[in-house]
Amino acid sequence: MSDQFETNPSINPYPQDSAGVQLISEQNRLSREELILMQQQRKFQKCAVDGARWFYWIAGLSIVNSIISLFNGDMVFMFGLGISQLIDAIAFYGAEEVGSETGLIIKIVGFIVSLVIAGICFLIGYFGSIGKKWVLLAGIVLYGIDLLFCLIAGAYLDVLFHLFVLFFLIRGVSAINNLQKLNSQPPSGDRIVPLHSA
């Protein structure tokens, strides 16, 4: 019975002719390529999103620093933006010079300006996380300028943190580039696009 199954082409569901074997081999090869492509896409997607989401931390901690300054606190998180700390400091010392009522207005204005800057960082994080490469590049440039400001101000711990974050931001841009290359040359079947085009 087993010999008949192996030799009778009317019963055997896997024909032994060379064309059939070649077709099955080709399908398996394409399936492996598609699986590898999906794994690479997910890897690069995670890297890009993780890089862009650093701007959420930057925005959040900058807001925390501004709130502390608004209520005359003396603690500062080095993970926030240097420009926001400068604005908060100007508003704080300006308020000390002019008196209570006008000083409060100055501090509130400074806080609003810091909120706007933090909002821009939040938007950069959002659009960067969905694959808008030019937005993430603009964020890297702005964050680099903030690094230079911290360097001039002598805030060396802030400089080190900025360099640390810039590494992940640049890696995120590189991941978006790799995703675009993968999506432009799929092996076969439906193309998976985990991030929007830049």
Give per-residue pLDDT as tens, 46-82.
898 999 999 999 999 999 988 888 887 777 776 789 8
**What pLDDT does 169 receive?**
94
* 72 class by beta-carbon count within 10 Å (0-12 exposed, 13-18 middle, 19+ buried): exposed
CA distance 51 to 47: 6
Q: pLDDT digits over 119-149, tens only?
A: 999 999 999 998 899 999 999 999 999 999 8
Average pLDDT value for residue range 99-107: 79
Spatial separation of the C-alpha atoms in residues 45 and 29, rounded to whole Å: 24
Higher-confidence residue of 59 and 89: namely 59
**pLDDT of the residue at 94:** 81
Alpha-carbon span 2 to 77, nearest angstrom? 76
What are the tens digits of pLDDT across the range 143-191?
A: 999 999 889 888 888 899 999 999 999 999 999 888 888 777 655 544 4
Between CA 86 and CA 78 the distance in angstroms is: 12
pLDDT, residue 30, reads 55
For the stretch 12-42, pLDDT in tens is 444 444 444 444 455 555 577 777 778 888 8
Chain position carrying tokens 């931390």: 57
